[in-house]
Structure 1
Amino acid sequence: MTTNLEGYVQETQTRHDTGMDESLNPKTEKGRTVGPISYLFMWIGDGVNLGNMTLGASLVVAGVATLNIIQTFVAAIIAIGIISTVFALNDRLGYRTGIPYVVQLRMSFGVKGSVISSLMRGIPAIVWYGFQSWIGGTALNEMAKIVTGGAFNSVIICFVVLQLFQIVLSLYGFHAIKWVEALASIVIMLALVYVFGVLLTSHSAVITEKWVHAKGSWGLPFFAFIMMFLGNYAAIFLSAADYSRELKSGISDTKRGLLYFSPILIAYGLTLTIGAMLASATGISNPVKAFAIVVDNPYITFFVSGFIVLGAVAVNMVANIIPPTYVITLLTKMKYKPAVIVTGLLGLCSFPWVLVQDSSAKGLGMFILIYSAFLGPIVSILLIEYYVLRKQKVDVEEMYKEDGQFAGYNPCALIAMLIGASAAFMLVELAWIIGVVVAGIAYILLMKYTFKDSAFKKGTIFERKI
């Protein structure tokens, strides 16, 4: 493999000796098909989904908002700023070299150690896959009830049908994602603007009372919402390399940061607002069921439900299918297409209906906080490794060798991850930031003072000079 001065991969040999599927090899410039406009629409499509709307609905518990409108948006802006910064920092290695996240992990955790850390990304994505499909299936069921006049009513069947459809669509890889997202982002935004108008004109009094003018809190609930917000994106920006490796080369770090900040701000701002408004107006945390009450017109309900289905497919295509598929491909040596099918089948078995009940979405919020306790430490370790310890100089060839410098596992990374996660669980409402800070400090200290002869120190600032 050869690279130019900017670090973009120009030529890649197929690595039959490693047993890796071709989809895990570094992306060449020729293989990068996503331009900046498509990339921006991809993240808008990812953001305008029912999961994020449910996050907004989680602010209303038993008819009482935990944050008022000002507190909600201040928390959102803080979270989006952090998300965009971490995204732009962590996507750089994948963007410059074309490697996926599961290979990036080897830099810090090692070939065997990366198995554990890659599962920490793959498992939450599969649960989210199932959750988004369940929400989409609920909407598809609403459409079916309208068409059949109530004769058909089975969310389970709709859930399975939608999941099978997504499995087939995802077999086409990132090419399908690009077009699905471009269509979904435009259409769904128009639909949500309409719903926003309906809520504003017909339910403004109750929304003002229960959310806008709520007392709220600038204390733990405020910071917990920021952490939940971060946790909602923690898995996505952790595997930033899986997306940036598809983006055409020549885009500066600042512009890539804006390609994250702008769409997330637009998409999240609208979906969070509508989610909180729906929960305030109806007392129901499931947005699909709340829509059916607010929009009491079968034709409009059918129209909106169709966009909810499209939104569920859109977010799954970006965030919840490719990353776990790469994990399964790496761990089982499966080809890409069989791994996509396995990912979809696992999503069917994730019991997503447990996370959100009609009265509360607290189950979803707690799930986010728990898994982010592990993902915060992992992203911290990767950033410390790349920027502080290795000064952005990484031997990509070495990361693809099963018996090279990164063979086995790096005990420093695994111990730091466990220390960070343990600290995070002491106050789960602030899990992400606690995990990031504690794991980062622990990793630097462990790399400096322990395991003196570790091969993982080669090329770092702690390499022993003889």
Structure 2
Amino acid sequence: MSTTDKSYDTEVTQIEHITKLDESLHPKSNQARTVKPRDYIFMWMGDGVNIGNMTLGASVIIAGVATLNIFQTMLAALISIVIISTVFALNDRLGYKKGIPYVVQLRMSFGIKGTIISSLLRGIPAIVWYGIQSWIGGTALNEIAKNVTNGSFDNIFVSFVILQLVQIVISLFGFHAIKWVETVASVIFTIGLIYVFGILVTNYGTEITQTWVKAEGSWGLPFFGFIMVFLGNYAGIFVSAGDYSRELKTGLSNKKRGALYFVPITLSYGFVIVIGAMLASATGITNPAIALPVVLDNEILAVAVSAFIVITVIATNMVANVFPPTYVIQLLTKLNYKVSAIIAGLLALVAFPWLLIQESSAAGLNMFVLIYSAFLGPVISILLVEYFILRKRRVDTADLYNEEGPYKGYNPAGLLAMIIGAAAAFIEVDLAWIIGLVAGGIAYYLLSKYAFKGSSFKKGTIFEK
């Protein structure tokens, strides 16, 4: 072990003795980081292949008319993926370097008490999506049960509860349960998507060409709106990048870690979006869960599709919707990881997901995404400005865990900048994420420099006197 590694592990041990937080929120020691680059790639591939992303691809087809053609769709997706990968690679550095989770990272910008507010902006949407994804999976599980029992069993709610209980059990094994779940899921996803792609090209090539490939499309608001919805949909994931990078083995350069995001996200997210657009073009149906059985038109394959959906739901929830709210619950209640994971799963059960995914609720759900992403845009820019500009990547980890240290209470600059960024985002809701990100970052820099003189949050920054 190098001198640097020994120093890091010594610091971790010291923090364990001063913090009141559960051990799962302590900095990760070098020995505790067991996720290899290969596992990390499988994790993001597994997360990328889900019905939500297919629906995003299908959204470019409205009432049988393409708002974006194939080139515009793929370019918009590529721009989104580049932005996502870049933000991931930037915001994961503190978690990777210091081994701390997102809820602890928030303390340097919002304060120990202020973190309660900002962490809920990540935790609540994650629980809602946990429930929505599980309801979709429960619907698919119910289809399997109907086929196996020849229709004698047909109860979506019971299937939903069963699937949720299974996910809660898996989540109890911690982050490392992701490795085998995502590895298995990634292999199944790849085989399934290639097969579906082949069917679409072979049997529906003409319809797809006429509806989507040769469409005029738009380079205006629909093009940029698609990018913003994509970013808004994943704003919660990359804002808590530290939750994932802290599990990754040490010794990787920034470029290599960036590749660990860009490659799997491009392969999985990009392919799934294309499949979604092709499905909608071929069938005129924008719900992939309904369109897939229509395209395959085979009972055995219909069961396989339902199984595919169930696995994608589990894979997506394990990465995006389990650990963030669990860590938030731990932060608020001081409970241990397993109890908090159970609470997160039970809260997802009572999030009324069956109401949120109805056709009549689609507009409201989309607005929900835009609203919380309007706040998460400023949060991510505040974190980046804090770490890279104000602190020049120098952070005293012990201070983050010291409840009587410089980060105690609220940081008014961070909270005010978040509100300013969110308010600016609502000027043009369709572009909420990027507007909030820019406005929030600028506001935080200016407030940190000119306002709240004597604030303890200036300690260690370029504005410390």
TM-score (norm 1): 0.96
CA distance in 2, matches of 1:191, 1:47: 14
- Does the Cα contact within 8 Å between 2:293 and 2:305 map onto a contact in 1? no
Q: Which residue of 1 aligns with 2:432?
A: 431
CA distance in 2, matches of 1:206, 1:400: 58
Give, in angstroms, the shift of residue 419 of structure 1: 0.3
1:444 aligns with 2:453: no
Give, in angstroms, the shift of residue 284 of structure 1: 2.7
Q: 1:448/1:117 Cα in 2 relative to 1: closer, same or farther (>3 Å)?
A: same
Q: Which residue of 1 aligns with 2:175?
A: 174
Give, in angstroms, the shift of residue 195 of structure 1: 1.2
Give, in angstroms, the shift of residue 194 of structure 1: 0.8
- Does the Cα contact within 8 Å between 1:38 and 1:178 map onto a contact in 2? yes
Residue type of the alignment partner of 1:189: T
1:295 aligns with 2:296: yes
CA distance in 2, matches of 1:137, 1:286: 16
1:121 aligns with 2:128: no
CA distance in 1, matches of 2:455, 2:217: 51
Q: Superposed, which structure 2 residues align to 1:17-416 within 5 Å? A: 17-357=18-358, 362-416=363-417
Give, in angstroms, the shift of residue 51 of structure 1: 1.4
Give, in angstroms, the shift of residue 449 of structure 1: 0.7
* CA RMSD across the alignment: 1.8
- Does the Cα contact within 8 Å between 1:378 and 1:417 map onto a contact in 2? yes
Give, in angstroms, the shift of residue 66 of structure 1: 1.8
Give, in angstroms, the shift of residue 65 of structure 1: 2.2
- Does the Cα contact within 8 Å between 1:9 and 1:98 map onto a contact in 2? no
Q: Deviations over 1:206-249 (max 9, x none)?
A: 22222222222110111011111111211111000000000000
- Does the Cα contact within 8 Å between 2:72 and 2:219 map onto a contact in 1? yes
Q: 1:8/1:74 Cα in 2 relative to 1: closer, same or farther (>3 Å)?
A: farther
Residue type of the alignment partner of 2:401: Y
CA distance in 1, matches of 2:215, 2:361: 18
Moved more, 2-11 or 289-298: 2-11
Moved more, 346-355 or 64-73: 346-355
Q: 1:321/1:199 Cα in 2 relative to 1: closer, same or farther (>3 Å)?
A: same
Residue type of the alignment partner of 2:4: N
- Does the Cα contact within 8 Å between 1:80 and 1:264 map onto a contact in 2? yes
Give, in angstroms, the shift of residue 7 of structure 1: 8.3
- Does the Cα contact within 8 Å between 1:369 and 1:429 map onto a contact in 2? yes
Q: Deviations over 1:278-327 (max 9, x none)?
A: 22223333221222222111111111211211111011111110111000
Q: Deviations over 1:248-294 (max 9, x none)?
A: 00000000000000000000111111112222223333221222222
Q: 1:358/1:145 Cα in 2 relative to 1: closer, same or farther (>3 Å)?
A: farther
Helix, strand or coil at the partner of 1:315 = helix
Helix, strand or coil at the partner of 1:426 = coil
Q: 1:3/1:335 Cα in 2 relative to 1: closer, same or farther (>3 Å)?
A: farther
- Does the Cα contact within 8 Å between 2:27 and 2:99 map onto a contact in 1? yes
Moved more, 218-227 or 147-156: 147-156
Q: 1:240/1:329 Cα in 2 relative to 1: closer, same or farther (>3 Å)?
A: same
Moved more, 196-205 or 393-402: 196-205
CA distance in 2, matches of 1:27, 1:362: 41
- Does the Cα contact within 8 Å between 1:84 and 1:261 map onto a contact in 2? yes
TM-score (norm 2): 0.96
- Does the Cα contact within 8 Å between 1:206 and 1:281 map onto a contact in 2? yes
- Does the Cα contact within 8 Å between 1:61 and 1:360 map onto a contact in 2? no
Give, in angstroms, the shift of residue 363 of structure 1: 4.7
Give, in angstroms, the shift of residue 362 of structure 1: 4.7
Helix, strand or coil at the partner of 1:193 = helix
Q: Which residue of 1 aligns with 2:12?
A: 12
Unaligned runs of 5+ in 2: none
CA distance in 1, matches of 2:276, 2:250: 37
CA distance in 1, matches of 2:271, 2:4: 42
CA distance in 2, matches of 1:366, 1:109: 26
Residue type of the alignment partner of 1:256: R
CA distance in 2, matches of 1:353, 1:365: 15
Q: 1:6/1:49 Cα in 2 relative to 1: closer, same or farther (>3 Å)?
A: farther
Helix, strand or coil at the partner of 1:366 = helix
Q: 1:289/1:127 Cα in 2 relative to 1: closer, same or farther (>3 Å)?
A: same
Q: Deviations over 1:306-358 (max 9, x none)?
A: 12111110111111101110000010111100100111111112233344445
Q: Deviations over 1:364-403 (max 9, x none)?
A: 4433222110000000000000000000000100100111
- Does the Cα contact within 8 Å between 1:141 and 1:154 map onto a contact in 2? yes
- Does the Cα contact within 8 Å between 1:46 and 1:319 map onto a contact in 2? yes
Give, in angstroms, the shift of residue 359 of structure 1: 8.9
Moved more, 416-425 or 193-202: 193-202
Give, in angstroms, the shift of residue 19 of structure 1: 2.4
Q: 1:357/1:193 Cα in 2 relative to 1: closer, same or farther (>3 Å)?
A: farther
Helix, strand or coil at the partner of 1:248 = coil
- Does the Cα contact within 8 Å between 1:355 and 1:362 map onto a contact in 2? no
CA distance in 2, matches of 1:267, 1:241: 22
Unaligned runs of 5+ in 1: none
Q: 1:106/1:360 Cα in 2 relative to 1: closer, same or farther (>3 Å)?
A: closer
Residue type of the alignment partner of 2:55: T
CA distance in 2, matches of 1:186, 1:436: 36
- Does the Cα contact within 8 Å between 1:285 and 1:360 map onto a contact in 2? no
CA distance in 1, matches of 2:202, 2:260: 33
Q: 1:9/1:213 Cα in 2 relative to 1: closer, same or farther (>3 Å)?
A: farther
- Does the Cα contact within 8 Å between 2:49 and 2:268 map onto a contact in 1? yes
Q: Deviations over 1:401-436 (max 9, x none)?
A: 111100001000000000000000111111111011
CA distance in 1, matches of 2:200, 2:153: 29
Moved more, 437-446 or 63-72: 63-72
Moved more, 423-432 or 196-205: 196-205
- Does the Cα contact within 8 Å between 1:41 and 1:182 map onto a contact in 2? yes
